[in-house]
Chains A and B, each alone.
Chain A
Amino acid sequence: MSAPRFDAIVVGAGPAGSVAAYTMASQGMRVALIERGEFPGAKNVFGGVLYRKPLEDILPEFWKEAPLERKVVEQRLWVLGKDSVVSLGYRSARFKEPPNAWTGQRAKFDAWLAGKAERAGAIPIYETVATSLIRDGDKVVGVQTDREEGDLYASVVIIADGVNSLLAKSLGVHREWKPDQVSLAVKEVLALPKDVIQERFGVEEGEGVTIELIGETCGMAGLGFLYTNQDTLSIGVGVMVSDLQKKKVKPYQVLDSIKQHPEIQRLIAGGETKEYAAHLIPEGGFDAMPPLSGDGWMICGDAAQMVNAAHREGTDLAMLSGRLAGETAVACHATGDWSAGGLGAYTQAVKESIIHRDLKKYRGLHSLLSGPQAELLFGALPQALNDAAYEMLSVDGESKRDKQKRAAALLREAAGGTAGLIGIGWRGWRAMNG
């Protein structure tokens, strides 16, 4: 029996892969969707917030049927001090109709999205690991899997196998990520009754809150999060791997200490741990992106470091890149040109999309976070901000002018003098507007 042949093989049924498969299959291409999980999403982990826009462009009004948790009506940023918090938030009815974003659970969402691709005609090949690419000279012509007689051939292979991308490594476009190009995140899902969640977070049925947490990460570059689901909370923290190595701290220790914070405790008290998970997040940004296409292949999503960590956007960029790769494949299918030149249209499309524009804007963030300022940004400054707030807000007979001075001094001191404070402000601004 001759080996099976498809127009396209997609490796990985995460947001990137499923959208790519859907885009191609719905245009009549013969597509194989390979996923190592028992079902798509089985082992996938994110915070997580899902955004409307990128998927709406492909599946209008998808939220009416997709398994989503709560629509996000309020986003908070909490700067944690040892036993206090400075909080900043935005809440708006404009986030309700149509919602801008939802909280979600990957096991349900990914399975649903892959189901869309299946119904469009993509052939699901699950519980199957793609072990390597099959090449003919420089050209990628197929994929080897871990099943008996497991070789599959296609005109193009779309690599969407996530942050650890075995296939991109086997292609040689990138090596193992460096420890400062990835964060290790740990996450717990805590069960609480619906009404308790709604009361604690001040929301109605179906509405939710996201809280990003900064500070209390032992001075390591990292962000925490606490999100509301229907009857669970997602709480977690991601810390740059190089920092974890340097400080010899285990990520779950960081999460444990965040969970003990009195203000967090108030929100999560009584929650029973239902799941515990760990996953890498690409943090290398713009400069870590590998080449995106070549002879017979394209790379999407996390496998190509397409994550905007500052805004916890990853699924949206993954879906957008999946769509662009899918559309490129559809065009090449029409012309029959699967060469590096033909597929180069994908690289070009990514360059013109918000993926490039946003990642380029935050280009400097990576070196800022992996540099010496990280300790300051994630350790001393959050605490100093809390102390300054305490100074400003406590009424203790001291004049406001003196209080203001003291508060400013606290921040200055933490940053190593006025010049340090200005410097870090400048570098921070540059990092996000590079």
Chain B
Amino acid sequence: MLHMVVCIKQVPDSREIRIDPKTNTLIRQGVPAIVNPYDLNGVEAALQIKEQVGGRVTVITMGPPSADKALKSCVAMGADEGILISDRAFAGADTLATSYVLAKAIEKAGALWGAPGIVFCGKQTLDGDTGQVGPGIACRLDYEQLTYVEHIESVDVERGVVVVHRHLEDGVERIRAPLPVLITVVSEINKPRRASLPGLLRAQAYQPIVWSTADFEDLDRSKIGLRGSPTIVSKTWVPEPRQVDTEFLRGTPAEVAGRLTPVLLERLRMTQGA
């Protein structure tokens, strides 16, 4: 049976985020936590595959105990199990340490329900925006990595191949890859479903599995948490707004056109001259 793992993260709802004008950092206090939206696309993709070819879906997150809410909302959508990796020792992780721990957890989940054929991640998180965790996991697990996937054309479990479309800046790339793969998804891939009522009720009663450092046998302590995180944020700043000269032309369309034409011609001459 095809085992799929989706890595998710609870993030502050960026629609509600403000920036502290004094320190230039995000004000996280009082901002509601949501599941990183791209991760929900990952959950939806896994559920659709499960509906088409069968299988089971495990959702994994590393975070504080309160992140169990994020797992429950994925269970409400239809995920089979949710695993919370939570321990003070994991705190302060950058993308390097995070992908190390998630890779370990995926292996561990594989021991329970079979080595995952597909691991899903969102293309990036709303709060970190790096897009590094997915590829980091793929490297550690030695999975093929398919990033920015906007469509999954087919999954053939017997032959062990997937065909996906990657969303690139200048076009779409169609790729066939052997399982196992790690897929990071863009929001165009699907519309995450709303939980059904039975799903919601199941999630209410569901207790996610919690793994702390003690639950991992071969964890390299130097690779987790703050110690395993070489990234240093040396400075953050709000970029100066770019200076753009704006002129509003008012009047009837004919008047506006009459005034716009010479301006455009002037601009054209200037750029050609330069």
Residues of A within 8 A of B (CB): 1, 4, 123-125, 128, 145, 147-152
A-B contact pairs, 10 of them (CB 8 A): A4-B201, A123-B201, A125-B197, A145-B197, A147-B194, A147-B197, A148-B196, A148-B197, A150-B196, A151-B197
Q: How far is the CA of A125 from the CA of B200 in the complex (A)?
A: 7
Residue contact B201 to A147, C-beta cutoff 8 Å: no
Chain B residues positioned under 8 Å from A147 (CB to CB): 194-197, 200
Distance (whole angstroms) from the CB of A5 to the closest CB of chain B: 11
Chain A residues positioned under 8 Å from B194 (CB to CB): 147-148
Q: How far is the CA of A125 from the CA of B202 in the complex (A)?
A: 11
B193-235 to A contact mask, C-beta < 8 Å, 1/0: 0111111110010000000000000000000000000000000
Q: How far is the CA of A147 from the CA of B194 in the complex (A)?
A: 8
B14-49 to A contact mask, C-beta < 8 Å, 1/0: 000000000000000000000000000000000000
> Which B-chain residue is minimally distant from A38 (CB atoms)?
B32
With most chain A CB atoms within 10 A of its CB, the pick from B195, B196, B198, B199 is: B198
Q: How far is the CA of A151 from the CA of B197 in the complex (A)?
A: 8
Residue contact B196 to A149, C-beta cutoff 8 Å: yes
Q: How far is the CA of A128 from the CA of B203 in the complex (A)?
A: 15
Residue contact A152 to B197, C-beta cutoff 8 Å: yes
Distance (whole angstroms) from the CB of A129 to the closest CB of chain B: 11
Residue contact A4 to B204, C-beta cutoff 8 Å: no
Residue contact B198 to A1, C-beta cutoff 8 Å: yes
Q: How far is the CA of A123 from the CA of B198 in the complex (A)?
A: 12
Chain A residues positioned under 8 Å from B195 (CB to CB): 147
Chain B residues positioned under 8 Å from A149 (CB to CB): 196-198
Residue contact B204 to A124, C-beta cutoff 8 Å: yes
Those 6 A-B pairs whose CB atoms lie nearest each other, nearest first:
A148-B196, A147-B197, A150-B197, A149-B196, A149-B197, A149-B198
Q: How far is the CA of A150 from the CA of B201 in the complex (A)?
A: 11
Chain A residues positioned under 8 Å from B196 (CB to CB): 147-150
Q: How far is the CA of A145 from the CA of B199 in the complex (A)?
A: 14
Distance (whole angstroms) from the CB of A41 to the closest CB of chain B: 13
Chain B residues positioned under 8 Å from A148 (CB to CB): 194, 196-197, 199
Q: How far is the CA of A124 from the CA of B69 in the complex (A)?
A: 13
Chain B residues positioned under 8 Å from A123 (CB to CB): 201, 204
